[in-house]
Copies of this chain bind each other. A is one copy, B any other.
Amino acid sequence: MTSFTLKGVSSDTGARRGELRLPHASLPIQTPVFMPVGTLGTVKAMTQEELSGLGFSLILGNTYHLYLRPGHELVRKAGGLHKFIAWDGAMLTDSGGFQVFSLQDLRKITENGAAFKSHIDGSEHFFSPERSIEVQHALGADIIMAFDECPPYPSTYEQTQSATERTHRWLTRCVAYHKEQASEQLLFGIAQGGTYESLRIESAQFIAAQDTPGIAIGGVSVGEPPEKMLEAVSWSMPYIPKEKPRYLMGVGTPQDILQAVAQGVDMFDCVLPTRLGRTGTFYTMRGRINIKGSRYTEDFGPVDPECSCAVCRRYSAAYLRHLYKCNEILASRLTTYHNLAHYAQLMADIRDAIERDDYASFMQTRLAQYGRKNDMKIEEVA
């Protein structure tokens, strides 16, 4: 049933090495893996060739955005999202739930689903669990996600319990609809439970019992501080079967990823390296820097001397600062490329450390190098 193979587990942490076989990936995906986010069928500022060149073979698309533009029926006509965007690797789509719930004033939730207005033109739409899966079938990603209700942070116990229980009922509907359609896409369930230990445990147990080929831990990026997120992971993890791939949605900074891997998470996605890249922020081995700072004006060396990516090998900090000051497209291009190269290298280093069975010490060294545990909260990013 599952296409996940566990290759090894760290002896001093929960970190694991695995392989995930997916229809559109010519080679198995090596886990732990980071998935760049390609919201509208493009990882912003990157070409598909560049993503492959950096070693990424699994990227994410956002169902809410692709449903509105260009529309899932057009993507279906094109032969699916892989063909439409000319991507040689595998893909995962989210359910659209997270974006719909973020719309706040533009959506109304009932037991049947979520009515919402497009953030682009105000047109009215409705996503039910069945509709989300239907749209994801048209998009055709290798992995699709259950439609869940994401409670905001902070939420009361009662609010969180209500959202978590609805998420469970919706998962049952997603699984039923998905089976009915006999799709070969892998449908992952999403465990919720907010910041409450008992709800996290209950949800992880419920999701595990549905026997989906993978399990995600959700609801941890709607304004939650990183320490709450890691706590939620620690509560959920014991109840998620070892043989399933575990996906921590929307996470995160290199520091978050290092620590979540230690808890046994296999899959990650986050907009940070691409979104922050477009604002001039570089991830380096010594923490995050913003290239617009005047101290880079005459810095004719690479932005990150410890990085061997194509950008750091060729272009100087002073040139990159100049490009940002002039609002040049090349600024976003080069920074995004570097940041994704940094994440790709981080994941490769993480996998190596697990294989050497040296993960605890590797993680401590890296966390110390990166500096402050989390130097920017996710809310400051947008």
Contact = CB atoms under 8 A, between A and B. Distances in A.
Contact of A84 (B42, B70, B319, B325): B319
Contacts of A315: 86
Q: Chain A interface residue count: which class?
A: 35 or more
Contacts of A329: 44-45, 329, 332-333
13 contacts: A40-B323, A40-B328, A41-B319, A41-B323, A42-B323, A42-B328, A47-B333, A48-B314, A69-B326, A70-B325, A78-B316, A329-B332, A329-B333
A74 interface: yes
A65 B70 CA distance: 38
A46 interface: yes
A312 to B, nearest CB: 11
Contacts of A45: 329-330, 333
A297 B73 CA distance: 12
A85 interface: yes
A243 interface: no
A93 B70 CA distance: 42
A49 interface: yes
A44 B12 CA distance: 50
A328 B49 CA distance: 17
Contacts of A78: 300, 316, 318-319
Nearest to A48: B314
Interface string A53-74: 0000000000000000110001
Lowest 8 CB-CB distances: which A-B pairs, in order?
Answer: A70-B322, A45-B329, A42-B330, A40-B326, A86-B314, A42-B328, A86-B315, A78-B300
Given A46-B330, A49-B310, A329-B332, 14 more contacts: A41-B319, A41-B322, A45-B333, A47-B330, A69-B326, A70-B297, A70-B322, A74-B298, A74-B318, A79-B300, A83-B300, A84-B318, A85-B319, A329-B333
A108 interface: no
A159 to B, nearest CB: 34
Interface in A283-334: 297-298, 300, 310, 314-316, 318-319, 322-323, 325-326, 328-330, 332-334
Nearest to A329: B45
A40 B74 CA distance: 39
A119 interface: no
A125 interface: no
A240 to B, nearest CB: 36
A193 to B, nearest CB: 34
A86 B319 contact: yes
A7 interface: no
Contacts of A179: none
Nearest to A315: B86
A49 to B, nearest CB: 7
B44 A316 contact: no
Contacts of A319: 41, 78, 84-86
Contacts of A47: 330, 333-334
